Structure 1
């Protein structure tokens, strides 16, 4: 039985909750024993700025245990294995929701607990499967519900503020009926993944292109314009990845999407300028993208508000895949909470809002890229695993999800031991490589970075091994081979040799010619490689759909088996960080460029 407050029957909807909170908290309540659900050590770099304002509103997300996720996972691996008889037999939205729906006992128990705090059904948002509950409540009520204390925390390096706690508890009667509650202990802010080394630089229009002979790569047998070694365009990518002359269709039900966050907006005028510069067929018909607002995401078209990340993502993903139906998802939320402007509500966690929306979407895009993430250790393991389960649900529906592997090499991008910042958050302050999330989720395709032609690994390419997720079976042979070639004792204790390995694949990631606010810029980072790879996946889906085959869906089991010969093996370069030179690119899979970069023509034959 859930602990009850004698005031629960007197309370009204949370619409009028704020004036009653002080009264409600003062009422006597039945003694209720709480037990700790989660506790963390504050992540390095975050310090307490002050107490959280009592009336500060928190969008509290309560995750109920997904009763049959293990069954869903079995389905996912069966339909993603190219040698399985069920390959490509993706599940329907309703089938997935049935598998992840919580047990009725959990629903009843949590409903009773919420009711005891005056929270009525009308105040609760429920996911399509009922496995996530969302309520908006002031800090002082959350503190009572979770027997905890919230503070404003400040990040020393960035100056960002968030409202969080380092532990929370639940009544013992519902402890096993709740998997996690956030925002509580999550200090990750899912920043844009642009390299701080090769970031954004304006292109000088006065510089004349040099008339150099084309470059030939004996390993791939491909010839590429010499200009591609200084500026990456759609033409360059099609040449480098053997897709010249391939024309996709707009009539086979194909689709591609880009996830945008943190008030970074795509600009249609910039897309038109880009098309005029690089995709004349799209410019000729004034092609554009479909805009979808997620929980109030905006679509301003003022050139001054054009976002570098969103312009990069949409221009290259949609430019490569034109005329495939394209969608830009703008999710509301801003990165920092500013404690001194009186903002009553924290809005810096849009990532899960996007995932909720996509899981409820009747027809999500078949190829999706997101270029946002954070250090794995800033994301509580419970949250990382639950979000990862959401990605698995998308994969089971036939969606391929690409994510950037990160821009810090094996951690902070710094090879100098004297200045490295790769310190664990477990209170032991050990030096350790820092993998990124969501790249570390085994149900996404993590995309690392390359540079130049012939290609080599770019030094900021995120790579390494997860501390949360064990190595999936589809990676076992490839990663064991890589580990067996490492010199004995190399980096002992710096990474988890049994973890999910990052990245899976790679693509060009520097000197991308992007138009922002009407002007041309060079942009670098794995935030470029992920939408690039997503564009080529959309072309592969085009080839399958033309033949009446289903979309590729979750890619990794295919890539590590039947399709591994469709990648260009990258064997030059490394990804320094954490006071080391990082890992080396080598023959076969490596923790810098994964399986390598796509050879589209080869992959197309392998998947059709």
Structure 2
């Protein structure tokens, strides 16, 4: 706790005799409001800089910035909501698939109105309420205001930061702790986005003249041209996973993709990809939230590779299913999640190819707030899939021979489906898969192991004969990934980029949109039959393991020692394995 001056007696007197709301109301009528006792927010944060980000100028007085105030939820409300959500998502429940409306979620989770009034009163006091919006669930207040006003609210200056390598990527952050007046801090979990410096995730671009496939391999390899026979393409995926090509989309179906760090798309690339791979129809984007700047896709070190990989393969697997894009220029998973949560017409399946290590998220408050947003999306029947990471168990923080593994967030949130990576066991031959050594997987240090996963994890520990030392991971944490798909650079994904150039890309950033699109195909069948969308997938996955091709070999050690080795059943290398369309559809349609 810190004070801006010594004049706090009015506040102390008020707080001894009134509620937090009453204390703030009293101060709003006096000069003490500008001198309130302030409370440091996200107090566990120790670092306010990053070697990958270069500090620039302080924000100017008239420069508009956005602050998001996330209100706290009572522990009892969260616990009750989690129990109800499990009933909606478990195939063993009579309520399976009875997803909630936005109004129902609000009724269950919204903080008391007086808490909202405290924050709104604080904003009004500083003239910052004019450009504020309250989200549909009445627990997030998003405001746009001049930089100087924002600095007064949070008690510290704001600065521009640019990425050391990707200069076009810029963010606004604090360089020191931020704080709020005590009554406001009592009802606010955090203010976003102020302290996180993201470690940008990039897919691996491989050589354009990689060796061709072996003579014994399927003709599917040559679908996109003999020059690119070594690359995974839609025909290879279709032969391996068995999903169909559809010609129409069921009403209400869709696939949404989240893009950050200046990852836009160019229609020329989508047309070139579709033509080169002889798709039945051209991959298109049906709606964009946040704008698109296609000219950015012809410049830079890795122009639009992440976004084009997402779009090209979500569109190729889920042909005819509408695709929407959500852009965030601030690289904020939390901002993205609230944006999706406020969109009542959003797609029922979302794929996100971004994430960082838990330790890089800086504060538990941030991860818990994200998790709550994911929970709300899950309750409304929205499937959210995240790539599990591309550095094996060691994560972006790197190999630490005497330390611990670095689990990936948001992939290890219980309310998202984490997609790991595989390679073909025999290069260029469509068939059995093995663990991709760089695929993310492990156990969370933040989120406890959920009940729907307990039996699978217990079996993994009892049957695995090659476990890492227990000091490297938290055996009681949420295990991930849940499922997997081809992701490695051994047979990288064929893509079009830079206006019609072709190359190959590897990573779980490829696996996630593929699995998301396959579940969108499942939704197509369910919706057409009058059933609900699949929604939160994890209980269904753990209750129907036979819907996936089990992967039983390989270790996700990231090229170092350690890592988890795939075994029969669920494992922390590939989850339950890769999609088996016939079995998956049969299971999904039986409920």
TM-score of the two chains, using structure 1 as the length reference: 0.81
Residue number in structure 1 paired with 2:566: 585
Structure 2 distance, partners of 1:210, 1:490, is 35
1:145 matched to 2:145:
no
1:320 is matched with which residue: 296, 317, 321? 317
Aligned equivalents of 1:367, 1:545: Cα separation in 2: 13
Contact 1:432 1:578 survives alignment (8 Å): no
Q: Give matches, 1:31-70, under 5 Å.
A: 31-39=35-43, 40-42=45-47, 46=51, 52-53=58-59, 55=61, 58-66=65-73, 68-70=77-79
The corresponding residue for 1:85 is 94
After superposition, what is the alpha-carbon deviation per residue over 1:90-149, rounded to whole angstroms, capped at 9, x for unaligned? 111222233332211101211222233332x31322212221112234555444433446
1:373 aligns with 2:383: no
Corresponding position: 1:352 with 2:325: no
Choose 511-520 or 268-277, whichever is displaced more. 268-277
* SS in structure 1 at match of 2:503: strand
How many angstroms does 1:7 deviate by?
9.9
For residues 332-369 of structure 1, give each alpha carbon's deviation from its aligned partner in whole angstroms, at most 9, with x where no partner exists.
41xxxxxxxxxxxxxx3343333222112122112211
* Pair 1:505 & 2:483 matched: yes
| Residue 201 in structure 1 maps to residue 200 in structure 2 | no
1:432 matched to which residue of 2?
Answer: 404
**Aligned equivalent of 1:20:** none
What secondary structure, in the 3-state scheme, does the structure 2 residue paired with 1:174 have? helix
Structure 1 residue 66: Cα displacement: 3.5
C-alpha separation in 1, matches of 2:443 and 2:416: 14
* 1:514-567, Cα deviation, whole Å (9 max, x unpaired): 111212111000000000101110111122223221111110000001x21111
Aligned to 1:38, the other structure's residue is in SS state: coil
Is 2:443 the partner of 1:465? yes
Give the Cα separation in 1 of the matches to 2:476 and 2:312. 38
CA distance in 2, matches of 1:509, 1:213: 18
CA contact (8 A) 2:395 2:407 kept: no
Q: How does 1:346-425 map to 2 (within 5 A)?
A: 348-379=330-361, 380-412=363-395, 420-422=398-400
3-state DSSP of counterpart to 1:86: coil
Correspondence for 2:108: 99
Aligned residues: 543
1:172 to 182, 185, 192: 182
- The Cα shift of 1:607 comes to 1.0
What residue in structure 2 maps to residue 291 of structure 1? 287
Post-superposition offset of 1:30: 5.5
- CA distance in 2: counterparts of 1:250 and 1:130, whole angstroms: 33
Q: How far apart are the structure 1 equivalents of 2:540 and 2:212?
A: 43
Give the TM-score taking structure 2 as reference length: 0.83
- 1:114 maps to which of 108, 114, 123: 123
User: Unmatched 5+ residue regions in structure 2?
Assistant: 1-21, 220-225, 425-430
> Could you say which residue in structure 1 is the equivalent of 2:428?
none
Question: 1:387 Cα shift?
Answer: 1.4
Q: How far did residue 250 of structure 1 move?
A: 2.2
* Cα distance in 2 for residues equivalent to 1:412 and 1:251: 39
Return 5+ residue gaps in structure 1 as ranges.
Answer: 10-26, 216-225, 334-347, 415-419, 424-429
Q: Deviations over 1:211-257 (max 9, x none)?
A: 32549xxxxxxxxxx999932111111111123x5546324432112
Given candidates 586, 589, 594, the residue that maps to 2:575 is 594
Query: For structure 1, which segment, 552-561 or 484-493, has the greater mean C-alpha deviation from structure 2 after superposition?
Result: 484-493
Secondary structure, counterpart of 1:259 in structure 2:
strand
